[in-house]
Amino acid sequence: MQLADLKDKNIAILGYGLEGKSTLNFLMNQNLQFKNLTILDVNQHLQTSSLVNSVTGAEYLDHLDQYDVVFKSAWIPTNTKLASYNWKILTQVQFFFDNYKGKVIGVTATKGKSTIASLIFHILKDAWYRVKLVGNIWNPVLDEIDFSEEYDYAVLELSSYMLDTLKKHNYISVLGSIFPEHLDRHGSFSSYTKAKLNILKGSEYNVIHRKTMYEFKLAEQYSNLVTYGSEWKYKWYYGFFMEDDKRLFSENDRNILWEHNLDNICAALAVGDIIGLSLKTVHDSIKSFKWLPHRMEHIGTYGWIERVDDAISTTPESTIQAIKTFGKKIDTIFLWGTNRGYNFKELIDCVLEYNIHNIVLFPESGKQMLELFKERIEKYTDISTSAFKQCIQVKHVHGNHVHDLKILSTDAMDIAVKFAYMHTERGKMCLLSTASPSYSVWKNFEEKGDLFKHFVSVNG
């Protein structure tokens, strides 16, 4: 739908969170007359703008037939009522693709998409292109894009929610690894995967992680594919980044450490090659690219204990990756979050395999993890104190080895940080990498990570 098509329409904004407020702000700043603007939200105590109508509470979806256009926040799933009105439902990202005429580089993956998108943006900016970085963990798209301005490229990070019903045409799409995530929203891994694969439709070029291409047989379905990772076209091999059999530069020429970022850099190399950037430009940008906040972010060594904020790891798989990255250096780990139906068995096995001695479990998924720990251990003893309520001492037998663990259940970050300070061995690491989202305790992963940093700096 074009911007001009909204003139004289009766428009509803479904969901009045960050994206809904952004949509309202965008519409009210256009030089257009609308028949009506209405906020729809299940929260009956919502504080909305006095300049618009609102329908809140249990009946907020009862009269969708009254509206010509419904701007839906991406996180709201399409239920039975909404499905009947698909033809009039619009998302910010769909509106962006309908109205933006420049070249778009879309990026998605279960984990790593923010790093890949940020790195591509950084490379293009260093190459003196006019470029915007928008989508997903950044500000809402319509807050960032001025359709009257011309950019050389817009780099758009896309979540599965944004991709769910998206119809688009764009220049380059980057698809990283896919594993189970957001199953509470999508209902099944199959539906989640279908949303993710939607990024490949309507693209001039598709850059795909080799595991994803192999697992979902994408070579049989799409043309103009460029592969990256491991043995494929853009890869890292014996200490070097490679293009086929050609060495490009040392894998040590980077600020973003850890093995999983080698694949993220390979994705950026592939995009740079498609655009036609010189290897020197890309190489120099990779060397200067800095960490993203809350992504395996080293926040300092306090009391001889290293602290790492990996708050953005909100799936068991991403936390397993973090554990494998830091290995035996980890002595304390914080695990918890909203229970999205994940299977934590492999994660628990990984924690025990790497002999992590101190574990902090937050609700809701912490309860499920605790039961899994209890299934695996020989015995446990209640060692609760006034400072650390709901704390147990665990004896775990692994082969010929007996490991002693301490497991604290809490919902308070300050208590968790004090526990880590008292029990983490000097020279070892306390890792915040929670394997679940944070909504059961905090607003988002940023708030969780910021609180961790705050109490680390206060308590040491």
Stretch 57-80: mean pLDDT, rounded?
91
Instruction: Please report which confidence band the pLDDT of residue 339 belongs to, taking 50, 70 and 90 as the band edges.
Output: low
225: its two tokens: 């594919």
All residues at 6 or more sequence positions from 149 whose CB lies less than 8 Å from its CB, including other chains: none
DSSP run (H or E) holding 225? strand 225-228
| pLDDT tens sequence across 199-241 | 999 999 999 998 899 899 998 888 778 888 755 677 878 888 8
3-90 adopts what CATH topology?
Answer: Rossmann fold (3.40.50)
For domain 94-288, the CATH class is alpha beta
Contact 404, 365 (CB under 8 A): no
Please state, rounded to an integer, the average pLDDT across all residues of the chain: 87
Output the pLDDT for position 278: 94
**Of 257-271, 332-346, 348-362, the least confident:** 332-346
The rounded distance, in Å, linking the Cα atoms of 271 and 106 is 11
Q: What is the pLDDT of residue 338?
A: 66
| 151-187 pLDDT per residue, tens | 999 999 999 999 999 999 999 999 999 988 777 788 8
pLDDT-derived band at 106 (thresholds 50, 70, 90) equals very high
Going by pLDDT thresholds of 50, 70 and 90, the confidence category of residue 299 is: confident
Least confident of 124-133, 277-286, 348-357, 442-451: 442-451
What is the Cβ-side half-sphere exposure of residue 127, based on CA atoms within 13 angstroms? 22
Who has greater pLDDT, 442 or 427?
A: 427
* DSSP SS3 for 364: strand
Q: Report the run of H or E that residue 418 belongs to, with start and end.
A: helix 413-423
pLDDT digits (tens, 9 = 90+) for 378-417: 777 888 888 888 898 877 776 666 778 899 999 899 999 9
| In the chain, domain spans | 3-90, 94-288, 297-459
pTM above 0.75, yes or no: no
Of residues 296, 361, 363, the one with CA closest to residue 329: 296
CATH number of 297-459: 3.90.190.20
